[in-house]
Structure 1
Amino acid sequence: MFQNQTFTSRYFNGVSAVPEEGTVLVHGQTVQFNSFDTNHVINLSQFTEFTRTHKGCKLTLLPDETKESPVLEIFCSKEDAKLFEKIWIQNKKSQSHSNALFYSIREMNPIVLGLLSLIVVSIVGFFYWKGLELVTNFIPLSMDKSFGDSVQLKMDSQFQKCDSKATDRFFSEALKKIVPKDSKHQFDVTVIESPIPNAFALSNGKIYFFSGLLNESESQEEVLGVLAHEIAHVERRHHMRNLVKAGGTSLAISLVIGPGLGNMEFLETFTELGSTILVLKFSRDFETEADKFSIEYLKSQNISTEGLLSFFQRMESLENGEEPSEENVPAIKTKEEDFTAKQITDFLSTHPATQERMKTLESLIQKGKKGTIKKVVSDTIWKEVQTVCLDFKNSESK
């Protein structure tokens, strides 16, 4: 505690930019500023902010942001500045319970404070994300259909369909077997012309199969496995859950960083990157969940569960740049095939690592019955399904 100690100082009155040079007499919790024509006696607790400087410390009197606050600068050693701050904090803590908590935190070691902050943020974040999951339960299924319908209009206008009687028959029979009996969704499958071996579903139950997947599939069960996976995306409302989490992520980051970023473009970029990374993780979680439920759907109907695993085993070979066996190599390689391999790599970049995914699938398949039904249509119809769009393209070129 200071007892009648004097320090060189200067006082800014909040009106003039020119400070008054003088001295400060410190006695206990009171400071008395004296200059040629000014005398101020102020209790340390009256100052709203305390800042240590390289020359000593600075005390700000008023919190009012509408006008310049009077400021008292005291020139002293680092040790004296620390003691000034300690006395000031003790005074502030005695004013109220909220002040006691706030200034106790301020006194904490920065490393300890950082660790505590990290723990608090982690706990709050955990419950925040869990809360976002619950939000979807309050969104009616009609919203899923509405979003899906709007995307479907764009899809149908941009892609060339090449459905056939064979594909209609195959997917009609497959949907009857795989879709859960208590489903509240209406499913429909369309084949679109594209060499990419992929499929995706919209939130309204519309499922698109790229012809490349059908052309390159080795069995009906592979396509059934992929179909079950896409049905699971819709049944588990992954589209809406992903949308809610994406919006929640953007909102959380915006609240932390705050609006009015001005020219700090790097923060805006960070916000976008953070949202993208988190949404990508959600997507991977949903893919794994879809794998799990697709196996359940297939097992419940005694349909073979090996197809989805077989599909990803071949995707992994293409992802790693491995050549297919000679018996499966077409006589002529085209640029389109090279393009397909690249698209597979791009596709897998937003999905779980193939090895990881196969391990999960293998584990799921081993539990319970594996299923024995491998066909839902005759070999003749399947042959037509497998070559869909190839005949379509040939007829288009004539």
Structure 2
Amino acid sequence: MFQNQTFTSRYFDGVSAVPEEGTVLIHGQTLDFLSGEVAHKLNLLQFTEFTLTHKGCKLTLMPDEVKESPVLEIICSKEDAKKLESLWIQSKKNESHAHAFFYSIREMNPLVLGALSIIIVGIIGFFYFKGLEMVTNLIPVSMDKQLGESVQLKIDSQFQECNTKATDRFFTEALKKVVPKGSPHQFKVSVIGSAIPNAFALSNGKIYFFSGLLNDAKSQEEVIGVLAHEIAHVEKRHHMRNLVKAGGTSLAISLVVGPGLGNMEFLETFTEIGSTILVLKFSRDFETEADVTSIAYLRNQNLSPSGLLSFFKRMQEFEKENTESDDNQTDKNAKNDQVVTQSFTDFLSTHPATEERMKSLKSLIESGKKGTIKKVVSDKTWKEVQAVCLEFKNSDSK
């Protein structure tokens, strides 16, 4: 490629800060540097790094971390610099298969290389998180129970329950129908006094319903639909899968940006995640899975699945009203109670009922059998259920 071509150059010997000014004669892969009485005969293969500069190019003889490296700077056009770089890369590729692969990548167009990098990272990420999903299968269900119980202690200490014989009867009958046979979980429902119309489940099978949901429910099937959805979260181990994903993500970030494994920072981070992960909102995929699974639970018992959709519609209306009233002044005590309650429901509840999700749920319900059973307790008992904790609803509305 180069046949006895001469270029102006400078040679830094790695000792003196003053370079030797001279010329370099390039013939094949041999570089002869001449400066007065000084001469250096170098082979292109000897240089460990090649850098393009605004004046031409710079060749570094050895890695800087070893010691200060001799450097040869060649003053030439961009075209000649590119040609010399190609010649250097070709010499490096001939060293070994590993070098051939590495330097072939270096030769690629930056845009193509960027696109390829994104694809590779995407593929690795996909299999990484799929692998994390499989890790959950290796964790015993008893761990779900322990995690749930640790969070339950915190919740029970902050909220006042107001269960009655009617609510116990209703949820006992509903659980008998909805919980799938052979479930490894022990489910129990408690009612929390609050006007917020929502519900959430812990990984140990403890499910909490806010009394506002029962007070405002249009029918039993609404509450049963929400119950089925929360049971699905527990049965599908969404809490543990969240924990594993969060821990795996933390580990991946630590390995990429600088691991804190040496001083146990990662373990500390993982512990913090473990104490809070159960109060994180579920991902869209988990919510979709819970929707689909809950509909299947209801249909298996010939229960009407339309109640869940009805609940989401009311949730949407509630969210709109709540947004519109944000600027209005409210009673300080009521507002404080709502803030505390909302802080938990924001974390623990299902995601807001988006239009997209409601459309998917509606399509799912319409595509299968409707279910004929809409009640699990008598109308009298249901009225008693709806009247639970009304003092909390009335105090919040003042």
Question: What is the TM-score normalised by the length of structure 2?
Answer: 0.84
Structure 2: runs of 5 or more not aligned: 261-278, 324-328
Displacement of 1:354: 2.2
Q: C-alpha separation between the residues in 2 aligned to 1:257 and 1:53?
A: 29
Q: Deviations over 1:298-341 (max 9, x none)?
A: 11111111111111111222334499xxxxxxxxx976599979
2:39 is equivalent to residue 67 of structure 1: no
Q: C-alpha separation between the residues in 1 aligned to 2:360 and 2:372?
A: 20
Q: C-alpha separation between the residues in 2 aligned to 1:346 and 1:280?
A: 8
DSSP-derived class of the 1:138 partner: coil
Total equivalences in the alignment = 368
Structure 1: runs of 5 or more not aligned: 261-278, 324-332
Displacement of 1:380: 2.0
Aligned partner of 1:326 in structure 2 is none
Task: Tell me which moved more, 361-370 or 195-204.
Answer: 361-370
Aligned partner of 1:272 in structure 2 is none
1:240-319 equivalences in 2 (<5 Å): 240-259=240-259, 283-319=283-319
Aligned partner of 1:183 in structure 2 is 183
8 Å CA contact 1:280–1:350 kept in 2: the answer is no
Q: C-alpha separation between the residues in 1 aligned to 2:338 and 2:370?
A: 31
Q: Residues 348 and 251 of structure 1: is their aligned pair in 2 closer, same or farther, counting only changes over 3 Å?
A: closer
Q: C-alpha separation between the residues in 2 aligned to 1:280 and 1:106?
A: 43
Q: C-alpha separation between the residues in 1 aligned to 2:115 and 2:387?
A: 60
8 Å CA contact 2:316–2:353 kept in 1: the answer is no
Displacement of 1:126: 2.0
Displacement of 1:247: 2.1
DSSP-derived class of the 1:369 partner: coil
Task: Tell me which moved more, 227-236 or 296-305.
Answer: 296-305
User: What is the alpha-carbon root mean square deviation over aligned residues?
Assistant: 3.0
Aligned partner of 1:212 in structure 2 is 212
Q: C-alpha separation between the residues in 2 aligned to 1:357 and 1:337?
A: 30
Q: Residues 81 and 280 of structure 1: is their aligned pair in 2 closer, same or farther, counting only changes over 3 Å?
A: farther
Aligned partner of 1:20 in structure 2 is 20
Displacement of 1:117: 2.0
8 Å CA contact 1:284–1:352 kept in 2: the answer is no
8 Å CA contact 2:144–2:204 kept in 1: the answer is yes
Q: Which amino acid aligns with 2:114?
A: G
8 Å CA contact 2:214–2:386 kept in 1: the answer is yes
Displacement of 1:208: 0.8
Q: C-alpha separation between the residues in 2 aligned to 1:349 and 1:209?
A: 10
Q: Residues 125 and 282 of structure 1: is their aligned pair in 2 closer, same or farther, counting only changes over 3 Å?
A: farther
Percent of paired sites with the same residue:
75
2:225 is equivalent to residue 221 of structure 1: no
Q: Residues 315 and 353 of structure 1: is their aligned pair in 2 closer, same or farther, counting only changes over 3 Å?
A: closer
Displacement of 1:28: 1.3
8 Å CA contact 2:281–2:349 kept in 1: the answer is no
Q: C-alpha separation between the residues in 1 aligned to 2:314 and 2:347?
A: 14
Q: Which amino acid aligns with 2:128?
A: Y
8 Å CA contact 2:200–2:349 kept in 1: the answer is no
Aligned partner of 1:360 in structure 2 is 360
8 Å CA contact 2:174–2:376 kept in 1: the answer is yes
Q: C-alpha separation between the residues in 2 aligned to 1:334 and 1:303?
A: 40
Q: Residues 315 and 337 of structure 1: is their aligned pair in 2 closer, same or farther, counting only changes over 3 Å?
A: farther
Q: C-alpha separation between the residues in 2 aligned to 1:9 and 1:75?
A: 6
